[in-house]
Each structure stands twice: as C-alpha cells, then as structure tokens.
Amino acid sequence: MKAIVVTDPAAGTAGMKLTQRPDPDAARLASLSGASYGDVIVEVHASGFTGNELEWPSTWTDRLGCDRTPSIPGHELAGVVTALGYGTTGLSVGQRVFGLTDWTRDGTLAEYVVVEARNLAPLPGDVDFTVGAGIAMTGLTAWQGLFEHGRLRAGQSVLVHGAAGAVGSMVVQLAREAGAYVIGTGRTDHRQTALTSARTCSSISTTMPWKTSAGSTWFSMSSEARSRSGPPAWSEPEEHW
C-alpha cells in the first residue's frame, strides 16, 4: 500500500517519504494467532497529521521501548472498515468510521490502517470524510480540555490562545455553547476567521471589552510577543469588538 513514512527523528517533517508498505494482513487479524484482539482494518479516505507528532516518543518507539521505524505518522482518520479482527464488536465491514489511532502504532497517512475498534465512532452519512478526519483531533482536544480536565461550567471564563486555529476555533465554539465567557488571542489578521468561522463574538461591546454579558474579546499578540519564548505575553489589546 501507499504510505508516508518517517525514519529519522532528527529530520522532522522534511524526512517524510512517500513509499510502499505491506498491506495489513486481514487473515491474520481475524485469527487467534495475532496480537490483534479487537482490531479492525480501515481503508483510509482522509487523514490528519498533528504538527508536533514527530517529536512524540510514541512515533519512534513502541510500548516496549523498541524502535518501530519506519513509522507511518498521522493518527487522525475517516474511512471505511474493510476487515474485522478476532473479538471485535460494535463495527461492521463497510461501515464509515472516524477517530484517532494508537500513538504507538502505524498511523493513517497510508491506504490502510489497523486500529482498535474501541477508538472509532460511526461517521454519519451526511458528514464527509474530510470533515470526519478534520474534527477528530481538534474536536476531542477541545472537548477533553474543556469538559474533562477543565470541568467547565456555565458562567466561567475561558481564555483561548490561538483562538482562530484548528483546535482553538473548536474550543471557542464548544465553550460558548456551554455558556462560558470566551476571550480569544491570536494574530490580528486571523481575527476575521475567528469572527466568521469560530463565532468568537456574537454580542460584544466595543466600549467595554473586558466585561460584556455573554460575548468574546479578541486580543492581538504582537509579533514580538509571539516570538518570545517562555510564558505567553501579549501587547495591549489593539482592537475590541
């Protein structure tokens, strides 16, 4: 099968190569002999890659600490189940699915991927594969940050850095829906994105940027502040709306 592989941790994304890798073995998957209990094979239609994946130890070594290169990166997917492993429940062959795959196994920048059925959700027929792959990591990151780790409740305030970004825009929307007061930071030139696609500000006062009833505020980070290392720092708000 066609796949993107990485072999050198020092090379970064520039070390990615398009190559041929063996197809997953469906017969072995369905037998008792493999260590693949509960796995399915998914024909990948759309795949997503997270920017710093190649810095994660799990990209290079498996759970036993053994070198697993050449590794296939990309762990976000939407596709169609083509084979079921022994013991798999909840999914059927031909089913549209989406989700994230195990960080320590070969990923989704390939024509097929082996993934645990318990990591996949059905992809509704009216949600296309591109969207399915695009919301798995961004949506789950936002959801788990806000609701599981942050235990967000209505009326609380949420400060979202990079509010116009792939994850940030999800955070803004989910936090707003949950009744939070959302403050976004980002580049000035991304403000319109936050406004139109992430709905950062539906009811903001232009005269009282900090404490409006239920709206959002946008703070623009200067390029100088962005490039500094260490704790986030930003300029005085350039514009509010």
Instruction: Kindly list the residues in this chain that would bind another protein in the complex (CB under 8 A).
Output: 2, 4, 13-14, 16-18, 43-49, 52, 74, 79, 98-101, 103, 108-111, 118-124, 126-127, 129-141, 143-145, 149-150, 164-167, 169-170, 173-174, 177, 190, 193, 197-199, 230-231
Is the Cβ–Cβ distance between 44 and 120 less than 8 Å? no
Minimum Å gap between C-beta 213 and another protein is 20
Q: What are phi and psi of 217, to 5 degrees?
A: -125, 145
Sequence-distant contacts of 219-222: CB under 8 A, at least 24 apart: 219/183, 219/184, 219/185, 220/185, 220/186, 220/187, 220/188, 220/191, 221/185, 221/186, 221/187
Which CB atom, from 165 or from 209, has the smaller least distance to another protein? 165
Is the Cβ–Cβ distance between 133 and 78 less than 8 Å? yes
Minimum Å gap between C-beta 16 and another protein is 5
Distance CA(203)–CA(143), nearest Å, equals 23
Minimum Å gap between C-beta 74 and another protein is 7
Minimum Å gap between C-beta 32 and another protein is 25
Which CB atom, from 29 or from 172, has the smaller least distance to another protein? 172
Which CB atom, from 29 or from 109, has the smaller least distance to another protein? 109
Is the Cβ–Cβ distance between 138 and 170 less than 8 Å? yes
Which CB atom, from 13 or from 31, has the smaller least distance to another protein? 13
